[in-house]
Structure 1
Amino acid sequence: MQPNKEQTNTEMAQVEKIIGVILQIGVLISAIIIGIGLLLLLFTGHSGYSGQNFPTYFGAIFHGLIQFKPFAIIMLGIFCLILTPVLRVVVSIYAFAKENDRLYVAITSTVLIILVFAMILGYLDI
């Protein structure tokens, strides 16, 4: 029984390392994208949108990305930053399932459902 516990501990250490790397990469990618948008904003002197308008929906963001609008690029970076901890929750569900910890799988799955539900409500402007 001891070798299984050691193997589980080793696997959990690897999963925790992967979670840390995911968070670091997510933040780094987000920072790079936001930085590109800020540099483009500084070089062009305009946001790509009139007045105080900026893209808030996926379609508007992607349409703005095609046209290299600085605010759209910045919003993509913010979107990536928001998705980083959501990805961490997904990996945590896997880790808890691998550990056969059903209680934490249920709790973490509930957190993921709440996050997705909140994102959908925010997208629908409810």
Structure 2
Amino acid sequence: MSENNPELEKISKEMAQVEIMIGQILRIGVIVSAVIMLVGFITYGVQGTTGFAHNGFPTTITAIITGLGTFKAGSVMMLGLFCLILTPVLRVIVSIYAFYVEKDHLYVWITTAVLVILLIALFIGHS
């Protein structure tokens, strides 16, 4: 049926590209997160401490960024964890775009609501 309708064929090709991009985002996000966490773990092994009181970890974005400035192992590991958490958030953003391209407005709104809930949870969760 898409052979008869060039617009449908174009949308199908674009959706295939979006699906490939979503897969790449998830793979790259996990790999980057794992590498960052591994660097933090190795740094912890070398330094023997996370760099924070009682060998704890930073719990706020500000503390993570400040700790990265002095290359504290705890901050590096938490950055890796933060990247891992942001990976599915980025996937949701790409999904919103994919549904928009498909002109599936119901799923655009539903996925946007999921994104809002994820962002609220992300900001409330550290309290």
Q: Which runs of 5+ in 2 are unaligned?
A: none
Alignment-derived partner of residue 61 in structure 1? 64
- Asked whether the 8 Å contact 2:50–2:56 carries over to 1, the reply is no
- Asked whether the 8 Å contact 2:56–2:74 carries over to 1, the reply is no
Alignment-derived partner of residue 102 in structure 1? 105
Question: Which has the larger displacement, 30-39 or 113-122?
Answer: 113-122
Following superposition, the deviation at residue 46 of structure 1 comes to: 1.4
Match of 1:77 among 65, 77, 80: 80
Question: Which has the larger displacement, 53-62 or 73-82?
Answer: 53-62
Alignment-derived partner of residue 117 in structure 1? 120
Amino acid at match of 1:7: K
Alignment-derived partner of residue 24 in structure 2? 21
Q: Which runs of 4+ in 1 moved over 4 A?
A: none
2-structure distance, mates of 1:63, 1:118: 23
- Asked whether the 8 Å contact 2:49–2:55 carries over to 1, the reply is no
Amino acid at match of 2:100: A
CA RMSD of aligned residues (A): 1.1
1-structure distance, mates of 2:78, 2:90: 18
Aligned length: 124
What do the CA deviations read for 1:46-99 (whole angstroms, capped 9, x no partner)? Answer: 111121422010111111111111011000000000000000000000010011
Amino acid at match of 2:23: G
1-structure distance, mates of 2:39, 2:7: 47
2-structure distance, mates of 1:101, 1:61: 39
Question: TM-score normalised to the size of structure 2?
Answer: 0.93
The 5 A counterparts of 1:29-68 are: 29-68=32-71
Amino acid at match of 1:102: H
What do the CA deviations read for 1:94-113 (whole angstroms, capped 9, x no partner)? Answer: 01001100011011001001
1-structure distance, mates of 2:53, 2:92: 37
Question: Which has the larger displacement, 46-55 or 90-99?
Answer: 46-55
